[in-house]
Structure 1
Amino acid sequence: MDSRILSVGIFVALMLSSLLAGRQGYLGAKEEITADLNQALLRMVEERQGNIVTQDSIRAYKRLRQVSDGEVWLAIADRKLCRNLKNQKLKDKTFLSFNIVDEVCSGNFPESDMISSDTLIVNHKATGTTLAVRSYTRLSAIWIFRMSDQRWSSLLAFVALLWAIGSMLRMRKKNVSGEVSSYGGLFYSSANECFYDAHHVSIDFTPMQHQLMRMLWHAPSHSMSKEAICAALWPKKTDANNTLYTLVRRLKPILETCSELQIVAHRGRSYSLEIKKKTECQDNVRKMSASFFTER
């Protein structure tokens, strides 16, 4: 299997796992909120011993239902209900709602995207009315996500990010170092047809310089005749000697700066890439050192 496909597959698998873990944490947070609403509502019912809402609220509910000739939904901010909540973040966003269960209404609550508790059917002792009671909390998806446990999701996303960065660096290094040949401190990668110096920095040859370097690099003993070079670079020119001479003259300083190689002309018949002698390298170092101290 191609290593790139495998790397992408592992990255996608890690990201999907992160998303699934995040979704699981989100749903788990909603379940915890629902459980908190349920226990708070039960404790409130036990504390009030059946008198959950006031008689005035029940009378107001009946009048509103008669006037509206339809469903009525009352939202009551109940302090005791909010005090019974374990999660302090829910206290300012939780309210109580009730329906009267009779021949007109079966006690069903309207559909809502808010998180709610289970419905409790209780008997209001003071009025003898049967009530369907439910608690709600107003929370946005962002709030629920912030309250959820996203440690596994974050960890998997972080691992996926590290994997992506590592894969990119590995592929980049493989492209640079894969099928690399070296000669005289110069490196050539056949994967991307590029020359590099000893620090793995690409050398900016002109297109003609790059083509000449490739020809000399792949030639036997790194040497080619002048006629073969001219025929390959300028096939339509009858006499390209001067053009070749200019090309070589401009290429020499670039090559000698970034490597230990030099282009040597053999009696005007051929050109070759050769490693500079140690004495020449030492002379170049002395000249560079002398010029440095002179400037200072």
Structure 2
Amino acid sequence: MKKDNSKSLRYGMIIPLALMIASLVTSCLSYYNAKQSIADDLNDAMIALANENCGLWTRQDTIAALRQMHETTHKPLIYQASDINFRNSALKEMAYFTLALVDKKNATPKIQGDKIASDSIMLVPARAVDGLAIQVQGFADCSMASLFAVSDQTLPGILFSLSILSMAAMFAWRRTETEMPEAGPAPVSPAVHPLDGIRLTPMQRQFAQMLLDAPGMKVDKATLCSTLWGNKSNAEESLYTLVRRTKTALSASDIEIICNRGDSYELRINS
């Protein structure tokens, strides 16, 4: 029985384990969905911003300013996104766009750090030479914790709670099974003594007990006389009287005393 309970516990643990794995998988999916949603939001805002400012950013004076800035700082121009409408309003505080001059002399700048990046757009001026273009790209400074906070963790939370509850239920069931005594054979009640419930005097009970304890429940007269009365002169007469009265006391039961040729007495239990 104990082996079956252990096997049931092992198989039962598959349920909370499966729920835990499902919770982890759905949590990761929700995290990456939130990350992709921010990237999509950046893409839409970047396209709208580029369409609105394309003429301004491809002017010669803007290109000259970008070229001078790159030669001085080797960094792109940062355009803050506080005046841009995002689907997720929290992006206004953490998003920005970069404008970088790209040509044969200036490679595409690398943005360091843990950021979410949008796609990039190349704005080509009307009088472009040497492959000159203005690269526009959006970024959002989102830490893993902030991404996890904005992701929808409702389903993962439900699955995780179910896994904990099912695990607790399995251990509670296991504890109950351990504490429950195993079913075994019913205790055998001690055998009823043949003389129980029969009204006998102390001498009668001693005499009947001697016969009951003897091999074959048979005792000779001499042993009975010496044991019960010692060296008393009329022990045989006393024995005869004792036997007669004991027979009368046992008459209502299934026990009888048999006299064997006058030299021994035997106890017989009729069942």
For residue 4 of structure 1, report the CA deviation from its aligned partner: 2.0
For residue 110 of structure 1, report the CA deviation from its aligned partner: 3.5
* Residues 1:29 and 2:34 aligned together: yes
Q: Out of 173, 178, 189, which is 1:221 matched to? A: 189
Q: Kindly tell me: are residues 124 and 147 of structure 1, through their superposed partners in 2, closer, same or farther at Cα, counting changes over 3 Å?
A: farther
Alignment of 1:82-161 (within 5 A): 82-83=84-85, 85-124=86-125, 130-161=133-164
What residue in structure 1 maps to residue 15 of structure 2? 10
| CA distance in 2: counterparts of 1:56 and 1:167, whole angstroms | 73
Structure 2 gaps, min length 5: 192-271
Structure 1 gaps, min length 5: 182-216, 224-296
Q: Kindly tell me: are residues 157 and 178 of structure 1, through their superposed partners in 2, closer, same or farther at Cα, counting changes over 3 Å?
A: farther
Kept after mapping to 2: 8 A contact 1:18/1:152: yes
Q: Kindly tell me: are residues 53 and 170 of structure 1, through their superposed partners in 2, closer, same or farther at Cα, counting changes over 3 Å?
A: farther
What residue in structure 1 maps to residue 80 of structure 2? 77
| CA distance in 1: counterparts of 2:44 and 2:174, whole angstroms | 56
Kept after mapping to 2: 8 A contact 1:78/1:95: yes
> CA RMSD, aligned part only?
3.1
Q: Kindly tell me: are residues 99 and 49 of structure 1, through their superposed partners in 2, closer, same or farther at Cα, counting changes over 3 Å?
A: closer
What residue in structure 1 maps to residue 174 of structure 2? 171
Q: Report the AA paired with residue 8 of structure 1.
A: M
Q: Report the AA paired with residue 38 of structure 2.
A: I
| CA distance in 2: counterparts of 1:11 and 1:222, whole angstroms | 50
Kept after mapping to 1: 8 A contact 2:122/2:133: yes
Provide Cα deviations, 1:54-89, integer angstroms capped at 9, x if missing partner: 877654542343245xx4243321444x22x11111
Question: Helix, strand or coil for the counterpart of 1:10?
Answer: helix
Q: Kindly tell me: are residues 56 and 178 of structure 1, through their superposed partners in 2, closer, same or farther at Cα, counting changes over 3 Å?
A: farther
Kept after mapping to 2: 8 A contact 1:99/1:133: yes
For residue 103 of structure 1, report the CA deviation from its aligned partner: 1.0
For residue 166 of structure 1, report the CA deviation from its aligned partner: 0.9
Question: Helix, strand or coil for the counterpart of 2:13?
Answer: helix
TM-score normalised per structure 2: 0.59
Question: Helix, strand or coil for the counterpart of 1:120?
Answer: strand
Q: Percent identity?
A: 23
Q: Kindly tell me: are residues 156 and 137 of structure 1, through their superposed partners in 2, closer, same or farther at Cα, counting changes over 3 Å?
A: same
What residue in structure 2 maps to residue 282 of structure 1? none
Aligned residues: 184
TM-score normalised per structure 1: 0.54
Q: Report the AA paired with residue 12 of structure 1.
A: L
Q: Report the AA paired with residue 177 of structure 1.
A: M
Question: Helix, strand or coil for the counterpart of 1:26?
Answer: helix
| CA distance in 2: counterparts of 1:52 and 1:144, whole angstroms | 32
Alignment of 1:186-265 (within 5 A): 220-221=188-189
Question: Helix, strand or coil for the counterpart of 2:157?
Answer: helix
Question: Helix, strand or coil for the counterpart of 2:158?
Answer: helix
Question: Helix, strand or coil for the counterpart of 1:119?
Answer: strand
Higher relative contact order (CA 8 A, sep 6+): 2
Kept after mapping to 2: 8 A contact 1:99/1:109: no
| CA distance in 2: counterparts of 1:59 and 1:222, whole angstroms | 113
| CA distance in 2: counterparts of 1:148 and 1:139, whole angstroms | 12
Kept after mapping to 2: 8 A contact 1:115/1:136: yes
Q: Kindly tell me: are residues 30 and 220 of structure 1, through their superposed partners in 2, closer, same or farther at Cα, counting changes over 3 Å?
A: same
